[in-house]
Amino acid sequence: MIEMVLPAGAAVALESPSRSRRLSRLRTGDALFRALARAAALAVLAVLAGVILALVAGALPALTTFRLDFLTSQRWNPVTEQFGALAPIYGTLVTSLIAMVIAVPVGLLIAMFLTELCPLWLRRPIGIAVELLAGIPSIIYGIWGLFVFAPFLQRTLQPALIQLFGHVPGLNALFAGPPYGIGMLTAGLILAVMVLPFVTSISRDVFEAVPPVLKEAAYGLGCTTWEVVRNVVVPYARVGIIGGIMLGLGRALGETMAVTFVIGNAHRISGSILAPGTTISATIANEFTEAVGDLYTSSLIALGLILFVITFIVLAVARYLLLRLERRIGG
């Protein structure tokens, strides 16, 4: 048998075409991936620009007709075509504030319990139960709130609040009026239940991302569990905590069906959180199908534009806070 031995140069010459084809395929795949990623990013910007343009174009008749009065007036009369967005804006902000005041501390405490104190056999059931709250449709929350939760509050919590704060200056106006059951407080409590899974889940994830060596070092110095959480876990995870809070706030600002069921849908501003009110999303959901006339429809679209601006401001503030925290940590 005669073996043929090719020179080194000939072997390289035979391998170079296949290697060239392989590199060409890799370059083509990389260019295709880069083009798809760029197209996806541009598509998001295009969709966002389209939404903004559609809202501005639809809201322009109402904004040019009422001008600044649209933001400062609470009149909402479709018969006389007098529209003001102050009452829905007020209701949106108040119900979201109530929800966050309740959901944020409760969610953080649940996350701390799951990561620091909860036994291993109980951690998974509680975590699954919290996450299941996020999967319940909002209309189910609304039905439950209207037929179960609102009557319960009307019989128990609201009369107790009226009696407790009825003679306290300042707070008596905040909890004034008959116990309707429905109202801004009820809507805020429903929103708190809906926002709770987001705050809890994200806080738990960022708490679990804290390096164990940091907590072990603190325990080794004699710190208690509360001191470890306050001085080690929370400072390390504060960027993620703020992100979770802002995500929950965005959900609270835009929630529609659950709030529509329990807020009372009254276009007026009241100093009492027990009184019925309305929100931007609830007003749009209730009246858009019944809007007759261009000005009525334009006013509802203008409400949508205002909600978009409020959400954008919330996200911008969140990004600003996160950047400040990152710079402080980096410094």
Residue burial 311-330, b: 16+ Cβ < 10 Å; e: rest: eeebeeebeebbeeeeeeee
Average pLDDT of the segment spanning 281-309: 90
* DSSP annotation of 228: H
C-beta neighbour count of 259 within 10 angstroms: 34
278 has pLDDT over 50: yes
Do 102 and 172 form a contact (C-beta atoms < 8 A)? Answer: no
CA distance 29 to 31: 5
Q: Is 81 part of any domain?
A: yes
Q: Kindly state whether residue 11 falls inside one of the protein's structural domains.
A: no
Nearest-angstrom CA–CA distance, 194 and 102: 11
The predicted structure's pLDDT at residue 9: 53
So what's the pLDDT on residue 79? 87
pLDDT band at 250 (very low <50, low <70, confident <90, very high): confident
CATH number at residue 294: 1.10.3720.10
Classify residue 274: in a domain, yes or no. Answer: yes
pLDDT at 13: 52
User: Could you tell me which residue, 133 or 325, shows the higher pLDDT?
Assistant: 133
Position 15 scores a pLDDT of 55
Tell me, yes or no, whether 96 lies in a domain: yes
pLDDT at 219 > cutoff 80: yes
In percent, the amount of the chain with pLDDT more than 70 equals 94
pLDDT score for 6:
47
Q: Which domain holds residue 224?
A: 69-330
Question: What global pTM score does this model have?
Answer: 0.86
Query: Angle of helix 184-208 relative to helix 120-135, nearest 10 degrees?
Result: 130
State the pLDDT at residue 306. Answer: 94
Does pLDDT of 1 surpass 50?
A: no
The count of structural domains within the chain is: 1
Is 8 within the bounds of a domain?
no
Q: Is residue 46 part of a domain?
A: no
- Considering the chain, what is the average pLDDT of its residues? 87
14 — pLDDT class (breaks 50, 70, 90) = very low
Asked if pLDDT for residue 189 goes beyond 90, the answer is: yes
On whether residue 197 sits in a domain, the answer given is yes
The reply to whether 309 falls in a domain is yes
